[in-house]
Each structure stands twice: as structure tokens, then as C-alpha cells.
Amino acid sequence: MNLTPDSFYAKSRLASAEEIVEKAGKFIEEGASIIDIGGQSTRPGATMISAEEEIDRVVLAIEVIYKAFPTVSISIDTFQSEVAKAAIHAGAKIVNDISCGSFDPELLKVVARNNTSYIGMHHTGTKDTMHEIPERADIMQELIHFFTQKKQLFTEIGIHDWIIDPGFGFGKTIQENFSIIKDLKKLHFINLPILVGVSRKSSIYKTLGVSAEEALNGTTVLHTMAIKNGASILRVHDVKEAKQAILLMEYLN
């Protein structure tokens, strides 16, 4: 659920409290088990905002969703510790961090102190360079090395309950993005749950020669492959279609 004015997928943008509760209710009805709230756009070229502005965008949404649906898990998509702290206070149970603790080291302390579930994403570079694509020989070996190091670090500071996100679309070539889905089983070596976030991303719509609005079918194909290869969580814009893919794959298995 994007609370930004410039999300790359326009239909995911929301504004009013009524609209937020209505959308959350629809997600839950269609099968969502986690509502992920984001107030900071991380698309290429996005302008970074302050923690105060991000808090203003997300806290009300978390409060109204928590009040309306107290049993659903709420995740805060942030790399800023002050935002995470405010979101947890408002009812968030998961911190979803695209920096995997690199942009704001205080964030990991907030997670450990509150015993909050955590999602850490693979990335390279800084906030300003995370979409630049470095040269590398093997994306899967880099992911294994990255998450192995993070797992050791997180264990030392008391974070054990966390989920890895290979970072589809962040600083990777189109071929590398597809290789991640194809070879996802290699990440089982890390022995942590895997989240996959491919929904309507540019590697899909550029490959198919369509727009983000027309990328649902391609998204479903990659969701199916991700489930087949061991994804534990799908982060999606289109809950109904993703849930259908999950149910059919469970039936086939």
C-alpha cells in the first residue's frame, strides 16, 4: 500500500483514511495476510523525504488499519529508524527495510529492542546510487555472500526472526532479475524465509513491451515460478491474482 504521490504504479497510490481502510479490507478479503505500508518512494529518480514527512504519511494509515483489522499483520516499509519506531508504536509488527540495515544503523537497534520481525533486502551502493548496476560475475553468489554476512551480523545484535528479499529490480540487470527467480532455490542455503517482490516491475513490462498497468499477466508468471522455487512471501499489488497462483501451486504440489 503506497502512500506516496509518485509510486511507479499509479493504482497503488492512496490518500484518505477512508480509502486506506477500504483498500486494506479489499486486500484482506482477497487473501492478504500482511499489509505493507510505504511512505517513501524508492523508484529510480525518486526524491528522498525526511523522517518527519514519512511519519506524517504512514502513521495514520497504520493506526486506522490496526483499529479496523486488529488481527492482520502490518509491515512498515522504511529504512529510517525514527519512522520504524513511530510505526511500531502505531501497530506495525514487521519492519521491511530495503537497505538491510545499511542506510540507518539505528534501525537495527529499534528492531532488536522491540523484538520486531524484519525483512532485509539485498542492495548495492547508497540511497543515491542503489539503482546503479555494478559489474559482477554471478548475482546468486553475491546474494549468498551478502545474506550470509548479514545473518552473522544480525545474530550478534539479537535479530533472529527475519526474512530475506533478493531485491528484484534494485541495481540489477534484467537478466540478473530473471536469474534470481530461476535460481531462487540457491538462497535456501541461507536457511531463512524468502520474500519476492516482482509485482509489475520494469524487467517484466520492458521485456514484454507493455506498461506497468499491463504487466499483471507477466507478474503472475514470475509469481508462479517464485513459488515453485521456494518463495515464502509474495509482495504484490494484485492480491486476488497472487492468491489464486498460490492456491493452484499448493494444489499441484
Cβ partners under 8 Å of residue 182, min gap 6 = 225, 229
Q: Report the amino acid identity of residue 54.
A: E
> Pick the catalytic residue: 67, 235, 240, 243?
235
Q: Give the number of other CB atoms < 10 A from CB of residue 220.
A: 18
**Known catalytic residue at 201:** yes
186-192 long-range CB contacts below 8 Å, 24 or more apart?
Answer: 186/140, 186/143, 186/144, 187/140, 187/143, 187/144, 187/147, 187/230, 188/230, 189/144, 190/144, 190/147, 190/148, 190/151, 190/164, 192/147, 192/151, 192/162, 192/163, 192/164
DSSP category for residue 190: G
> Pick the catalytic residue: 151, 172, 201, 243?
201
Catalytic residue IDs: 201, 235
